[in-house]
Structure 1
Amino acid sequence: MADPNPNIPPQSPPPPHEPERKTASPLIWILLLLALLAFGWLIYSQRSGVTTAPETLPPPAADIGDGQDAAAERERAADDARRAAREADARARAETPAPVAGADREATPLTRVEPEYPVEAYRKREEGTVLVGASIDAAGKPLDVQVVRRSGSRELDQAALDAVRQWTFEPAVRDGQAIASDVQVPVTFRIDR
């Protein structure tokens, strides 16, 4: 048969059935984005967690005395100043003062060596007061130095003993004569905050 309308081109057969193109659902894209963010956060946190070791600061100086009685500390400082003035005056006159009968006094520290804060105790943030007892001879030197009351830290106790062994004392006086005596000295270790 002939085509009824010669101007119309013959129809081509329909194309073979093409499979539909599948696109990724938005849910998959969101999950992929979250996984990338989590990975980025993990990398960032690991990098920020790696730091150089902090600079170690030297331990603070230990306080000598109990630090609670400021008036007593000022009085001791005033006594030290008066004693230094008397010694300077005596040297200037080139006389040795004669001991006064009946001027009794206890042994007092002349020179104090500051204890070194033990590094291990500083790292552990240990603080405390050590009560140190010492037998002072007639020349003012400590002979037998021992802990009377512990601080709770073996390192602090040892540092206090080592420091007090290096001190010099003005010896005790009885009836105008220097004598041996016993003293107790508190040594406080405190980390300044």
Structure 2
Amino acid sequence: MQKAIFGLLLMCGMVLSAGAQQGVDMPKHVIRVSGGVMAGRAMTKVDPVYPPEAREKKISEVVVLHAVIGADGTVKDLNAVSGPGILIASALEAVRQWTYEAYVLNGNTVAVDTTITANYSLDK
């Protein structure tokens, strides 16, 4: 259990430091929009690769991610909220490639703070 928690914390730290190293420009004005609404606005979705080790261990779970979607519809910031550590890296890699229809508020496109789920099911 401690190894799993340590692995998850290590992975989150690596993801956060990678974002800082890339000099991600965070939007100044961000509104909160539910994950369900944003799921309906997804234009490009790349399915996450099921890690072979997770498949062998029959891990079938959901990874929950926190994201900031820029006014241009691209993923600007992304980090894991919950899910098995073994699945997080592939979920992050896939979702970084997603694009969304721009969110318009009062006639202006705005950045969005939202939640994204990546489902890993052995039934697929």
- Taking structure 2 as the reference length, the TM-score comes to 0.64
- The amino acid that maps onto 2:66 is G
> Which residues of 2 match residues 40-59 of structure 1 at below 5 A?
none
**Which residue, 53, 63, 67 being the options, matches 1:130?**
63
**Which residue, 115, 121, 124 being the options, matches 1:190?**
121
Using the TM superposition, give the Cα deviation of residue 116 of structure 1 relative to its aligned residue in structure 2, in angstroms: 0.6
How much identity, in percent, do the aligned residues show? 35
Larger RCO of the pair (alpha carbons < 8 Å, separation 6+): 2
**Which residue, 73, 87, 91 being the options, matches 1:160?**
91
| Contact 1:141-1:167 within 8 A present in 2 as well | yes
Q: CA RMSD in A?
A: 1.6
In the alignment, the residues of structure 2 paired with residue 176 and residue 135 of structure 1 have an alpha-carbon distance, to the nearest angstrom, of: 20
Residue equivalent to 1:115: 48
**Which residue, 134, 153, 176 being the options, matches 2:107?**
176
> Which residues of 2 match residues 47-126 of structure 1 at below 5 A?
107=38, 108-126=41-59
| Contact 1:171-1:181 within 8 A present in 2 as well | no
> Which residues of 2 match residues 18-37 of structure 1 at below 5 A?
none
- The amino acid that maps onto 2:44 is T
In the alignment, the residues of structure 2 paired with residue 125 and residue 190 of structure 1 have an alpha-carbon distance, to the nearest angstrom, of: 9
* More strand per residue: 2
- The amino acid that maps onto 2:56 is R
Structure 2 residue 79 is the aligned partner of structure 1 residue 146? yes
Residue equivalent to 1:103: none
Mark the structure with the bigger radius of gyration.
1
Residue equivalent to 2:18: none
Using the TM superposition, give the Cα deviation of residue 110 of structure 1 relative to its aligned residue in structure 2, in angstroms: 0.9
Q: Which runs of 5+ in 2 are unaligned?
A: 1-36
Instruction: Kindly tell me the number of residue pairs found equivalent between the two proteins.
Output: 86
Deviation string for 1:34-67 (max 9, x for gaps)? xxxxxxxxxxxxxxxxxxxxxxxxxxxxxxxxxx
Q: Which runs of 5+ in 1 are unaligned?
A: 1-105
Using the TM superposition, give the Cα deviation of residue 143 of structure 1 relative to its aligned residue in structure 2, in angstroms: 0.8
Deviation string for 1:120-152 (max 9, x for gaps)? 11111111101111101111110111112x22x
Q: Which runs of 4+ in 1 moved over 2 A?
A: none
In the alignment, the residues of structure 1 paired with residue 42 and residue 65 of structure 2 have an alpha-carbon distance, to the nearest angstrom, of: 13
- Taking structure 1 as the reference length, the TM-score comes to 0.42
Deviation string for 1:58-103 (max 9, x for gaps)? xxxxxxxxxxxxxxxxxxxxxxxxxxxxxxxxxxxxxxxxxxxxxx
